[in-house]
Structure 1
């Protein structure tokens, strides 16, 4: 049997990986937003160093009264929208990758700041927050790979 005939029905490319990461990010930030909105106790392993409630209720959990979880959810929704529109118009084909990179880069930097806040300023960790920050890091790496491919060949679908 020829091995080239055993192609998977679903091609996993970097665009698809990005979409899957965004879906996971929407789930995590959606849960954090739900907890913040409803004040229900957060599901979090109680262990030394982990205290989700302290992180979620700290002075650093809001910017001008807006919960960071809501900003994270909004960011993932914007990134998802850009991914879905990226190949739909000439403007987005030409500029979408750069716009996407700018937003993901800023979100990654802010996520790294939040890791610092948890570890140094609050001295407590939130597993859900760390999942978001790890997810954003992987999304940033995938976006760099996509940007590099785009800069080498703007017509490539990545």
Structure 2
């Protein structure tokens, strides 16, 4: 079976939301509204379709999805535009085959091509740390959410700029 990664098109809007909902259906740590978050992000003024990737099987069905959206990392001196990786999903029958990693690498490449240098993610450290994500608090980057520090991570795409401060998510995340 062949799997293809591609930029989301309008034809994929509904099927991608259905795939995301299905992917998170049995995930214990989920609030099960990831598809609603995606809808809100897509309607926001800062949405960039080039930072949204889907995986399709050889029948053309969406089987995985990843999305990056802008956030602001802010301290007393500076504001820095970064990205949040949320959500990443793969249908259960396609998991443990490297598809989530491929989706993440695809959106990271697109982020680099758009001159972004920092990505934050809220997720399982056992999954994200092998992909180069580190505890954000080690870099003085803090989540606005009340979560264990280990679950809030950062990845720097360049060595140039390392922002610090609190991450401010857009209203779509509220």
Higher helix share: 1
Calculate the TM-score normalised by the size of structure 1: 0.30
Higher relative contact order (CA 8 A, sep 6+): 1
Calculate the TM-score normalised by the size of structure 2: 0.28
Higher strand share: 2
**Which structure is larger by alpha-carbon Rg, 1 or 2?**
1
